[in-house]
Amino acid sequence: MSDALPAEERPKTLLITLTGKDRPGVTSTVFATLARFSVEVVDIEQIVLRGRLILGLLVTAPRDWKPLRDAVEKVAAELDMTVEVERGAGDNKHRPTGRSHVTVLGTPLRSAQVAAIAGRIADVGANIDRIERMARYPVTAIDLHVSGTDPEKLRTILAEEAARQGIDVAVQSAGLLRHGMRLIVMDVDSTLIQGEVIEMLAAHAGCEEEVARVTDAAMRGDLDFAESLTARVALLEGLDAAAIDRVYEDLVLAPGARTTVRTLKRLGYRFAIVSGGFSQITDRLAADLGIDFAAANELEIVDGRLTGRVVGEIVDRAGKARALRRFAAEVGVAESATIAIGDGANDLDMLGAAGLGIAFNAKPLVQQAAHTAVNVPYLDTVMYLLGISREEIEAADAAVGIVTPAPPLD
């Protein structure tokens, strides 16, 4: 006599959770066992963490589910793994309100910091549906799939908590747009490169400290950018134009800059640099890195020396936003499909115009206004915000012979 439950009491689904040491053939063995019962697969998740496999299966329940349970338990024992079979587990349902990707970056990322972020998510009634590791070196990055609250509200709450914890947290609305980003527009000074070109030129002209003071005030938003640029460039009057070549040779790219451009161009992204600096530098940078568009101010040079003036319209805060829109139109993408990266007050309009504005090691004013902020020195961390993992980046490089140094052993 069958011990199956009456139809009205039978579970419609079974949740099977298998854990143990990973090895080839585990998944196929489990599914071969399930195949004997002709069940349908409703949902499946599998991860391997430090050599430990966690396999979760939601399957339809047969009329008599106990033989299936016994068979799964038997195969788990043969595999030296543990298994749990739960009756009546329902399918995962998306919550009716907002879904977000929450990317958490830390160097290192400590358990107390993750606990604090998870706690704030719970406080607003939201749920963490899934967690993925995006990178473990040199930055630890995890991506939380969150549902149940408005992304803008979540961004505000988590930004405050991130500041308390000393980590970076980026919140983006989940949806197709994240996969549709196709144009990245970057600032140059202190973003794509380390340092400020005008200060490097000023060092050759003997006025570096004075120029640096004005630059810092302009980037904080204390001075009008166009006025500050005019005043700083005036101090360069008479400088031998050959100093521009020496400055270019001394430029140091932000760590991860070449990796970012190389990787995203493989995926069809277009790149632009928009700078309050000088075209004599940015045009060469664009050619060196394979960047598609560039906009910057042009230093006036007469008889091999700087005149202390710029030629044409100054690329200021509003000019950077206009350049982003112009480049987006040339590429044929909506502004919502653009990403802007910058650090200073003159980047604010550009960051606001983009679909995703990222403040990169930026002044506090900029961090508060941007969609999200990254405060680690590695420019390639922005790819984690796009759902691209370090493993995927390194695999793509390895396929063309680019070898990435191995991370420290755990």
Measured distance CA(304)–CA(302) in Å, rounded:
5
Q: How far is CA 249 from CA 132, 197, 207, 258, 367, in A?
A: 40, 11, 20, 16, 31
Catalytic residue of the set 22, 168, 187, 316: 187
Q: What is the DSSP string of 274-288?
A: EEEEEHHHHHHHHHH
- Whether the CB-CB separation of 53 and 21 falls below 8 Å is answered with yes
109 Cβ contact partners less than 8 Å away, ≥ 6 residues apart? 140, 141, 142, 167
Q: How far is CA 323 from CA 233, 316, 326, 337, in A?
A: 22, 10, 5, 15
Residue 57 has φ and ψ, to the nearest 5°, of -130, 130
In degrees, to the nearest 5, what angle opens at C-alpha 156 toward C-alphas 189 and 388?
60
DSSP 178: G
- Tokens 């530098």 label which residue? 281
Measured distance CA(249)–CA(259) in Å, rounded:
20
- Determine whether 224 is an active site residue: no
- Determine whether 187 is an active site residue: yes
Measured distance CA(324)–CA(342) in Å, rounded:
12
DSSP 182: -
Measured distance CA(345)–CA(199) in Å, rounded:
18
Catalytic residue of the set 189, 343, 347, 380: 189
Antiparallel, parallel or unpaired: β 82-87 and 13-21: antiparallel
- As given in the structure block, the two tokens for residue 286 are 């664009």
Give CB contacts under 8 A, 24+ apart, made by 275-278.
Answer: 275/187, 275/188, 275/189, 275/315, 276/189, 276/225, 276/229, 276/314, 276/315, 276/316, 276/320, 276/344, 276/346, 277/188, 277/189, 277/196, 277/197, 277/198, 278/197, 278/198, 278/244, 278/310
Q: Which residues are catalytic?
A: 187, 189
